Structure 1
Amino acid sequence: MVGDEDAIAQILNRLRRAHGQLAGVISMIEDGRDCKDVVTQLAAVSKALDRAGFKIVATGLRECLTGATEHGGAPMTQDELEKLFLALA
């Protein structure tokens, strides 16, 4: 993925945060924590991943539309872009 270095840094930070949260969920389950606490933390992980995904799509949208990738790929069609967005829904 090419793009704005600041956006990439934000994406990586979100993914690292989600990684830590997921490790916390695993520990909570292993420790037998209350279902409500586990689900609340799991929802936070899910939201962090969604936000990272949306940021990736938003950052790469120009690249996807023009085909200006590092590998010289073809531009994405409208249907392909729609499918990409819906994958995060």
Structure 2
Amino acid sequence: MQLDADDVKAVTTRLKRAHGHLASVIRMLEEGAECEDALTQLAAVNKAINRGGYALVATGLHQCLVEEGPDSVDTKKLEKLFLALA
């Protein structure tokens, strides 16, 4: 399913922020930052990416429900998408 650009704008913004944050973590490592500090920041990046993924699935599910109705939801496909994020 192709999602509307307006519907995924918040997800895109979140992932761009995570991308910038990841670049900061890489820079920290290259500059010899403490392991604990880098791991703490990396955990934050990981959480932001995961939240972006879940938000993307939720956006797609909402679009399916609104445009095609509850019977259009492929539960096996949805389960596979959620498990891919686990």
Residue 86 of structure 1 pairs with residue 74 of structure 2? no
AA partner of residue 27 (structure 2): S
**Aligned residue pairs: how many?**
82
Runs of 4+ aligned structure 1 residues displaced above 6 Å come to 65-68
C-alpha distance after superposition, 1:58-81 (max 9, x if no partner): 00014557996xxxxxx6632221
Alignment check: 8 A CA contact 1:67 1:76 kept: no
Alignment check: 8 A CA contact 1:3 1:60 kept: no
State the distance in 2 between where 1:14 and 1:20 align.
10
Q: TM-score, normalised by structure 1?
A: 0.77
When you count helix as a share of all residues, which structure comes out higher?
A: 2
- Report what 1:41 is aligned to: 41
Alignment root-mean-square deviation, CA: 2.4
Unaligned 5+ runs, structure 1: 69-74
- Report what 1:2 is aligned to: 3
**Local SS of the residue matching 1:87:** helix
Unaligned 5+ runs, structure 2: none
AA partner of residue 23 (structure 1): A
Q: TM-score, normalised by structure 2?
A: 0.80
